[in-house]
Amino acid sequence: MTRTCSRTAIVDDQTHFWIAQQVADTKYTADISSMFRHGKKVAGKAPHTLITDGAFNFSSAFESAFYRENKALAIQHVRHVRISGDLNNNKMERFNGEVRDREKIVRGVKRTDSPLLTGYQILHNYVRPHMALDGQTPAEKAGITVKGRDKWITLIQNASKKSAEES
């Protein structure tokens, strides 16, 4: 029997930059606080507002990962959002649909350590222009430029240089 894992992600609302992700065996009971902490580290700061669905694990992970900031900075955690309303998660649902379309082609993510999502995250953030961002990539919208005619090759070359410097 083939199993399919559940995917959770953090995406910036303004730039559509895919910040962090986690793959787990379960959707509603997985501890995603480590993903929130990793997202805070990658972004360099805690969010002003966190919009999630009503799953219980989001609330407990929010409290665990942002306890100090929540008390000091009054981070807003918006849950139970609706498709129509002042606050919604339409952008996140669109993003989830985009990734789900890719997952269908490969018949789902079957391992929590699958490289599929990391590769797709790079494509999403640095290579593929987005119509909602007027033809920019999320990285470009965030002020990150990848120079070169072929962005994939440039990214691989830059990763290779960094890897060689670290050795």
- pLDDT tens-digit readout, 122-138: 999 999 999 999 999 99
DSSP assigned state of 131: G
Helix or strand (DSSP H, E) at 161 = helix 151-166
The Cα–Cα gap between 138 and 108 comes to 25
Residue 7's nearest CA partner among 111, 106, 132 is 111
CATH of domain 6-166: 3.30.420
The Cα–Cα gap between 98 and 30 comes to 22
Confidence of residue 8 (pLDDT cuts 50, 70, 90): confident
Neighbouring C-beta atoms of residue 63, cutoff 10 Å? 13
Q: What percent of the chain is predicted at pLDDT more than 90?
A: 29
pLDDT digits (tens, 9 = 90+) for 64-117: 888 776 666 778 888 766 666 666 677 777 888 888 887 777 776 776 677 888
- Decide: helix, strand or coil at residue 46: coil
pLDDT over threshold 70, residue 56: yes
User: What average pLDDT does the segment 139-165 reach?
Assistant: 88
Contact 87, 81 (CB under 8 A): yes
What is the distance of C-alpha 146 from the center of its chain? 19
Strands of the chain, DSSP E: 6-11, 18-24, 49-51, 76-78
Residue predicted with more confidence, 87 or 9:
9
Residue predicted with more confidence, 3 or 34:
34
Q: What percent of the chain is predicted at pLDDT more than 70?
A: 86
pLDDT at residue 143, as a whole number: 95
| C-alpha dihedral, 66 to 141 to 13 to 50, nearest 10° | 0
pLDDT at residue 1, as a whole number: 43
pLDDT at residue 71, as a whole number: 67
Q: Enter the tokens of residue 146.
A: 């990848």
Length of the chain: 167
pLDDT over threshold 80, residue 163: no
